[in-house]
Homo-oligomer: A and B are copies of this chain.
Amino acid sequence: MKPDSIFDTTPEYFMREALKQAAKAFDEGEVPVGAVLVCNNKIISRAYNQVELLNDPTGHAEILAITAACSHLGIKYLQDCTLYVTLEPCLMCAGALYWSQLGTLVYGASDPKRGYTQKAVNALHPKTKITSGVLKEKCEEILKSFFSTLRN
């Protein structure tokens, strides 16, 4: 019997893959946000927040995933791609997604402090479709757990 995941192309499947990236960030002491970029139902890049490791405030999961995907595809536009990310993008990442003309953005948890919708609800490209709340609780849980560990 084939493993389900081989042909699983549901948003929940891809968000679980993004959560696996977030878990890597958690293990490395980074704010646990993960992302995967999907093109034709295939993951073409995976990334997690590496601000501390890279010592670079621009090292968010989304930025790393975009850079890797464009390098892989050899084009600088991602109109046919879907980005799954565990947390609502910040303004920087939304701006990067704008330039990439991303096809679809799917995020899990909302970010009431630094999500792009707090400052510029129209930050994304007008053609980008948006879905939020996929595996929301799991995406929130890993962040809550990280910050409560930090505090203790």
- The interface-forming segment of A10-18, A19-27, A89-97, A103-111 is A89-97
Partner of A70, one of B56, B96, B99, B123: B56
Interface string of A54-70 (1 = CB under 8 A from B): 01111000010011001
Partner of A57, one of B58, B66, B122: B66
Interface centre among A67, A74, A76, A92 (most CB of B within 10 A): A92
Is A98 among interface residues, defined by CB-CB distance under 8 A?
yes
Which residues of A are at the interface with B, using a C-beta cutoff of 8 A? 51-52, 55-58, 63, 66-67, 70-71, 74-77, 90-96, 98-100, 119-120, 122-123
Known contacts A91-B91, A119-B122: does B57 contact A96 (CB below 8 Å)? yes
A95's nearest neighbour on chain B, judged by CB, is: B92
Q: Determine the distance from Cα of A52 to Cα of B57 in the docked complex, in whole angstroms.
A: 23
Q: Determine the distance from Cα of A120 to Cα of B58 in the docked complex, in whole angstroms.
A: 19
Which residues of chain B are within 8 angstroms of A99 by Cβ–Cβ distance? 51, 57-58, 90, 92
Find out whether the CB atom of A56 lies under 8 angstroms from the CB atom of B51: no
Known contacts A67-B56, A71-B56: does B100 contact A95 (CB below 8 Å)? no
Which residues of chain B are within 8 angstroms of A76 by Cβ–Cβ distance? 51-52, 55-57
Which residues of chain B are within 8 angstroms of A94 by Cβ–Cβ distance? 91-92, 95
Known A51-B76, A55-B75; 17 more pairs at CB < 8 Å: A51-B99, A55-B70, A55-B76, A56-B67, A56-B71, A56-B76, A57-B76, A57-B99, A91-B91, A91-B92, A91-B94, A91-B98, A92-B92, A92-B95, A92-B99, A93-B95, A119-B122
